[in-house]
Chain A
Amino acid sequence: MKSKEVSLDAALSHIKDGMTIMIGGFLGLNEPLAAIDRLVKLGVKDLTLITAVNAYPGGGFGIGKLIENHQVKKYIGSHIGTCPAAVEQYKNGELEVEFYPQGTLIEKIRAGGAGLGGILTPTGVGTLMEEGKQKVTIDGKVYLVETALRADVAIIRGYKADKMGNILYRGTPNSNPIMALAADYVIAEVDYVVEPGEIEPDRVGTPGILVDAVVKGYGEEKTREIFRELWIKNKKLA
């Protein structure tokens, strides 16, 4: 079987100006940092970016760089406060922002990948989240109808992938396994690329059929350096 391992540039060539992309990760952690850094260099623009939360607090890291480099025209997520550039661009009209409660957002993405039209949630009833949405009452309880969400391309981050695309996650997988189902083209950035059979089947977090491209990221050693430096700089470690 043909290996799904490709170069970073070959994988990212699927991302064109104006596309909608999902990027896994949570405030930088288990985010596909190598792919993001390369996207910044490539300069694709007018992107709609979907992430669970925004950049590592203060920005200058991970997805924060895409916003700081003015490559995002619309942001869909649950929070922008950690990324000063996102707040500023939203305020001055450069960036459009669509907020969803985080639990709603992840279910919209899950629905998008699972063949569902949407989900019903009690979250947001009685708030601005109701605007423009259908409400349904089931057994006396009110729910908002939240429609499914998909992207043209998803970039996810795993720890290991085999060449058939099976992904093993490490630590907190956050949005990555959900996004892996919800895009037309799925790129998995990992620290290690291994042969089929080297990941135990019951450790596979995302089955390989869902992944289109496997790319080697910065690797484990460099990842450790990156976060050590980040956390020392932000006085989280001493």
Chain B
Amino acid sequence: MDARELIARRAAQEFKDGYVVNLGFGIPVLAASYIPEGVEVILQAENGILNFEAVTRLGEEDPYIADAACQPTRILPGGSTFDLAMSFAIIRGGHVDATILGALEVDQEGNIANWALPLSPGKWSPGMGGAMDLLVGAKRVICTLQHTDKKGRSKILKKCTLPLSAAKVVDLIITELAVMEVTPEGLVLKEVAPGVSVDQVKAATEADLIVKGPVPEMRL
């Protein structure tokens, strides 16, 4: 199992039956493939859909309906479409139970940076899309990301260095090494990945990790 699949499988366990969820691109969307049996969720797409699924077979597409990545999409029975003001009222207004989003950096205070990489001095790209609204509005914010960057540097920091998407909003961080919860006392190590030790997680993490007693292994 590669890192992405492991993170997606663990993130999928956060879905609760009946949840309205909005999934970011990449690993979060992959998590939808591993929703536990007996759990049904309603997916929300920021471009204005509730309850949909992807379409991949030629002839089943509808050129008036696509998801927030403009992938051909089908509305499921009981689903609905609506305009962007309604969509972001749903998002910002606290009507989405959980969002799973990727990040460039996340820190021990629950700050998250996921919209801006430096393009040139004072210029940032690619932009936030709907992420800032989701982070502020969703009842629960789950952040999925690889624990370190390509050079092995921790992406779980004491303090984010890139421009923030939102301050103090992240509830849970899931990486290929660990599950960490943001609490008022700090970042608590809740689970380690199979075969990974607490010391290994600590060594790969710049943030201060609080370890309370034995740390259980992720069940995947």
Contacts and interface: CB of A to CB of B under 8 A. Distances in A.
B163 A103 contact: no
A25 to B, nearest CB: 10
Contacts of B84: 26, 52, 102, 106, 174-175, 178
Interface in B52-99: 55-58, 61-66, 68-72, 81-85, 88, 91-92
Interface string A43-66: 000000000111011000000000
A20 interface: no
A90 B125 contact: yes
B126 A81 contact: yes
Nearest to A101: B132
Interface string B19-62: 00000000000000000000000000011110000011110011
Q: Which of A30, A128, A171 has the most CB of B within 10 A?
A: A171
Given A172-B49, A174-B47, A122 B136 contact: yes
Interface in A91-112: 91, 97, 99, 101-104, 106-107, 110
B108 interface: no
Contacts of B58: 228, 232, 237-238
A126 interface: yes
Contacts of A53: 129
Contact of A78 (B69, B124, B128): B128
B199 to A, nearest CB: 33
A171 B65 contact: yes
Greatest chain B CB density within 10 A among A80, A82, A103, A107 is at: A103
Contacts of A159: 64
Interface stretch (B164-172, B174-182, B183-191, B207-215): B164-172
B127 to A, nearest CB: 4
A226 interface: yes
A182 to B, nearest CB: 11
B132 A129 contact: yes
A87 B119 CA distance: 8
Contacts of B128: 78-79, 99, 101-102
Please tell me the size bucket of the interface on B. Answer: 35 or more
Contact of B119 (A90, A127, A176, A178): A90
B141 to A, nearest CB: 13
B123 interface: yes
Nearest to A55: B70
A127 B123 contact: no
Contacts of B49: 172
Contacts of B66: 26-27, 29, 172
Contact of B127 (A77, A107, A175): A77
The 9 tightest CB contacts between A and B, nearest first, are A81-B126, A171-B64, A126-B167, A103-B88, A103-B133, A79-B127, A227-B63, A27-B70, A101-B132
Given A80-B126, A172-B81, 16 more contacts: A26-B68, A29-B63, A79-B129, A91-B125, A99-B128, A102-B133, A104-B132, A126-B168, A127-B163, A128-B164, A171-B65, A171-B81, A173-B82, A227-B63, A232-B58, A238-B56
Interface of B: 46-49, 55-58, 61-66, 68-72, 81-85, 88, 91-92, 111, 116, 119-120, 123-133, 136-137, 163-168
Interface of A: 26-30, 52-54, 56-57, 77-82, 87, 90-91, 97, 99, 101-104, 106-107, 110, 121-129, 159, 170-178, 205, 223-224, 226-228, 231-232, 236-238
